[in-house]
Amino acid sequence: MLEHSMLYPRMSASRRAVSLDGMWKFCLDWGSEGESAGWVDGLPGTERIPVPASFQDFYTRKDVREYAGDLWYQREIFIPGEWEGKKVFVRFGSAAHRAQVYVNGVKVAEHEGGFLPFCADVTDVVRYNAENRLVVKVNNELNVTNIPCGTTVTLANGRKMAKPYFDFFNYAGLQRSVHLVALPLEYVFDLDLNYEIDGPDARIFYRIATTGEHPVQLSLWDEEGKQAAAAEGKEGVLEVEGARLWQVRDAYLYRLVVRIVDEAEVLDEYEQEIGIRTVEVRGTDILLNQKPVYLKGFGKHEDSDVVGRGSNMGVMKRDFELMKWIGANAFRTSHYPYSEEVYQMADREGFLIIDEVPAVGLFESMMNFMEASTGKKTAFFEKETTPDLLAAHLRALEEMIVRDKNHPSVIMWSLLNEPETTSEAAVPYFKEVFDRARSLDPQKRPRTFALVMNSLPGTCKCYPFSDVIALNRYYGWYVKGGYEIGDAREDFLREMDAWKALELNRPFIFTEYGADTLVTEHRLPSVMWSQEYQKEYLQMTHEIFDSYDFIRGELIWNFADFQTTEGIMRVGGNKKGVFTRQRQPKDVAYLLLERWRELPLKYKG
Ligand code: BDP
């Protein structure tokens, strides 16, 4: 069980949540002297940057953008006098990749892992009705004992540099909202929900965790504000007559209100929007509310100009509008859990999410996509540090599932992206991760991981763990691109035939396929990198998707162009976007729109 509640901060009669977003004091710690110089009590200088945001793209100096090490943040927080006697927390949406939190010079929390929330309990440290100083030391170095994996090198000039084993820029900092939270002493800590549909009715099985012993009451309200069900007790069932189900692109959200009561007094009240729906895999079908669904959409990134990976409501809104326009119904939160507002919006818009833990780079290469496509095998899980990595992975998994389990949009967990799977040592590692996901999820949602090019029917030792087999495939790009695309097609068919021959009787989805395309390039006849080639590549790929009944989803790589580490493989970032980084369509968007608007939801079902 996690130490602190993962529930999203909300106001109610008993709860307070104050946003700490805004300009914070900021300092890079070039000489790693922050602690010895007493920065925990206050930062030097006057520099300020916005929270939430990645720090890297504001500045004009390259050594700042590429900085690896400690970065310090500070702001004053005023704690109202009437909060005395309550539990007071500072809640971080995330801190990439690790953080230590100080209030009035006292260490109140530390957290490892850059994409999930954590809290600092500051109840006994703060002065009430007064200003208090909040200082956060964040560190953005990469290693192989935390996810995502990479390494940190020291250059000849003494500067450190992050070398990711993954293909996205190592954006860092306080990239999500920070809240000051006040809760009553006895509060709702967690809730588990599971659904059963029974003809026109539904049953919601629930379990509530609180920090005390007082009784719990639940009520459920429909979108018209009418009460739909009620129940008492920490564990039980809400019976919903004539339930409106949460459907793909046709969301219906109920409001669940949980109360802790002491006779007539309400000690705590927490409410959350929920959707009634079931998810299940049966044979090659992915079933939502017992009906087959075909996934159409994207692998995405949290990535945009200027703020980097910083959570950005405007960009999020635009992304959902584009996904609706193109006829998509699903996306994968590649390669890390996204900010909580994204899931709330997907709940509201009826999008399906494959929620991915930041287990990427578990394959020792700067360019997995290149090396794996040559069939190269690289051991990864045999390291002395593997147990530490596994511990970090399991912790992030728990934080993600506890945070996201009640979103109707979340229909599947992705437990790793493109790991090394050809050595025996991968097997026990996978077993732990897959078993843990099953035991943590009250809804027992399907689990998957994205297979890299060298994880093939004959070489991959880990696909049997997956409830849904998810392939990242680049035939016609990393494998035999351009004029050789016909041969790539043959290779692709050969691989799919080999999967078919295994008769796994499970759904397959494509979690990646795509071709880098420069929005400036038009070529007749096509060449690689031109918009014409991106279309040709997709036509070939779509024909293959349509030829196998067990393929039940296509999530193209990527929704938009995104920033990566500089290098000979990337022209100002990864250009496989269907949209540019500024969220304008490439030509291929219209081809996808024609296909996706036509494909029925129950395609092949
Ligand atoms: C895969 C990765 C993804 C990369 C993509 C690519 O999962 O992160 O961005 O291929 O090469 O290796 O574009």
> Given this model, what pLDDT does residue 363 score?
84
CA of 557 to the centre of ligand 1 (A): 8
SS3 at position 463? helix
Provide the CATH number for the domain formed by 16-183 in this structure: 2.60.120.260
Confidence of residue 374 (pLDDT cuts 50, 70, 90): low
Q: What is the pLDDT of residue 366?
A: 47
What's the pTM value of the predicted model, to 2 decimals?
0.97
- The CATH code of domain 188-274 reads 2.60.40.10
**What atom of ligand 1 comes closest to residue 367's alpha carbon?**
12
Which of 416, 574, 575, 578 has most ligand 1 atoms within 8 Å of CB, for mutation?
574
- Please list the residues that pair with 265 across neighbouring strands: 262
Quote the CA–CA distance of 399 and 440 in Å, as a whole number: 10
pLDDT per position as a tens digit, 571-590: 999 999 999 999 999 999 99
Which two three-digit tokens encode residue 513?
Answer: 């396929």
Residue span(s) of the chain under CATH 2.60.120.260 come to: 16-183
In angstroms, how far is the first alpha carbon of the chain from the final one?
39
Tell whether ligand 1 has an atom less than 6 A from the beta carbon of residue 371.
no
Q: What is the mean pLDDT of the chain?
A: 96
* Residue ranges of the chain assigned to CATH 2.60.40.10: 188-274
- Could you read off the pLDDT of 4-34 as tens digits, one per residue? 999 999 999 999 999 999 999 999 999 999 9
Element (H, E) at 562: none
- 441 Cβ closer than 6 Å to some ligand 1 atom: no
Which tens digit of pLDDT belongs to each residue from 76-109? 999 999 999 999 999 999 999 999 999 999 999 9
Q: Is 418 a catalytic residue?
A: yes
Categorize the per-residue pLDDT at 372 as very low, low, confident or very high, splitting at 50, 70 and 90.
Answer: low
Tell me: the pLDDT tens digits for 107-131? Answer: 999 999 999 999 999 999 999 999 9
Q: Which is nearest to 274 in space by CA: 181, 356, 205?
A: 205
Listed residue (338, 358, 505, 479) closest to 419, CA to CA: 358
pLDDT exceeds 70 at position 375: no
- In CATH terms, the superfamily for domain 291-474+504-519+531-598 is Glycosidases (3.20.20.80)
Find out whether 540 and 489 touch, Cβ atoms under 8 Å. Answer: yes
3-state secondary structure of 278: coil
pLDDT at 367 over 60: no
DSSP string, 81-138: GGGTTSEEEEEES--BSEEEEEETTEEEEEEE-SSS-EEEE-TTTSPTTEEEEEEEEE
pLDDT higher than threshold 60 for residue 377? no
pLDDT reported for residue 1: 81
pLDDT more than 70, % of the chain: 98
**Mean pLDDT confidence for 428-439:** 98
Where does CATH 3.20.20.80 sit in the chain? 291-474+504-519+531-598
Comparing 184-198, 207-221, 375-389, 563-577, the range with the smallest average pLDDT is: 375-389
Q: Give the pLDDT confidence score for residue 370 in this predicted structure.
A: 56
Mean pLDDT, residues 455-482:
97
378: pLDDT strictly greater than 70: no
Q: Can you tell me whether residue 536 is helix, strand or coil?
A: helix
